[in-house]
Amino acid sequence: MLTITLLLAIALANPKPEVKMSVIDGSAPGGPFTLSGSVAAIDRPSDAFRYSFHGSLSAKNLSGKDIVLLVIKMDVTGANKIDINDTEECDYFFASDIFERNGTRTFGEDWGPFGAPKAPVDGRPTRPRAVARVVFAQFADGSTWGDPMAGKSVLSERTLTYSKLRSLAETYQQKGARIFADELNEPSDLAELRNLQRLYTQNGKNAGAVFKRIIRVLENADLHRLNMGVQKP
């Protein structure tokens, strides 16, 4: 016991520059998904923001149905003085490709860098541990699995995004490129809108290119709505 305690004290005093952990699948037993992967916790003591993390996660779809939305929670503890509690929302509603049945998708994620906490945190785990779990899924036919509350925010954002895209398309067709550009570049918290704003800037403020992108995105969304039995407004 004394030897183990001494070794632990030495390890804490001389942290490794990188700690790698295999991801533990914490999804509900018997669920239609399996998760695997790894997380690297990186410590660079010479940097002011010394802690960072890189994760690679693979999800296998065993449901027998195509997926349009997957919500995954990741918890990383005990690797250093920073813990990670993150939610990955993978929404394919506006995309032409979806998470196919029996398919596998790989997700990469970086967290940090972070500085050391200003106050000590008591009761933290001392063993590195990375746990991922699927908490919600929506399938291509509109059915769902898991905790509905876990998908509430992304489904709400999807509805807002769909309405905004339709409004932008109508503005371009009825009022022209200049007013369209003004409406497009209004501040927004919607991820798809921010992507379109970047596209507008990167394409030399080409409103026509953005309009074509919006039409493609709406076509994808309308196809998913049709498969779910949702009437087009």
Q: Where in the chain is the domain with CATH 2.60.40?
A: 2-146
- Write down the pLDDT at residue 118: 78
Nearest in space to 100 (alpha carbons), one of 137, 62, 131, 50: 62
Segment holding 61, helix H or strand E: strand 51-61
Pairing of strands 18-25, 129-139: parallel
Q: Report the distance separating Cα 26 and Cα 118, nearest Å.
A: 31
What are the two backbone dihedrals, phi and then psi, of residue 27, each rounded to the nearest 5 degrees?
A: -65, 160
143: CB partners within 8 A, 6+ apart = 65
Q: Report the distance separating Cα 37 and Cα 80, nearest Å.
A: 19
- Where helices occur in the chain by DSSP H, the ranges are 2-13, 152-175, 177-184, 191-202, 207-227
Positive or negative, the CA dihedral 79, 82, 87, 92 is negative
Region for residue 161 given its phi and psi (left: phi exceeds 0; alpha: psi -120 to 50; beta: otherwise): alpha
- Helix, strand, or coil here: 93? coil
- For the segment 101-113, what is each residue's pLDDT rounded down to a tens digit? 999 999 999 999 9
DSSP 1: -
What's domain 2-146's architecture? Sandwich (2.60)
- Write down the pLDDT at residue 212: 97
pLDDT < 50 regions, the chain = 1-14, 233
- For the segment 124-170, what is each residue's pLDDT rounded down to a tens digit? 667 899 999 999 999 999 999 999 999 999 999 999 999 999 999 99
- Write down the pLDDT at residue 94: 96
What are the two backbone dihedrals, phi and then psi, of residue 155, each rounded to the nearest 5 degrees?
A: -70, -35
What is the pTM for the complete model shown? 0.86
What are the two backbone dihedrals, phi and then psi, of residue 223, each rounded to the nearest 5 degrees?
A: -65, -45
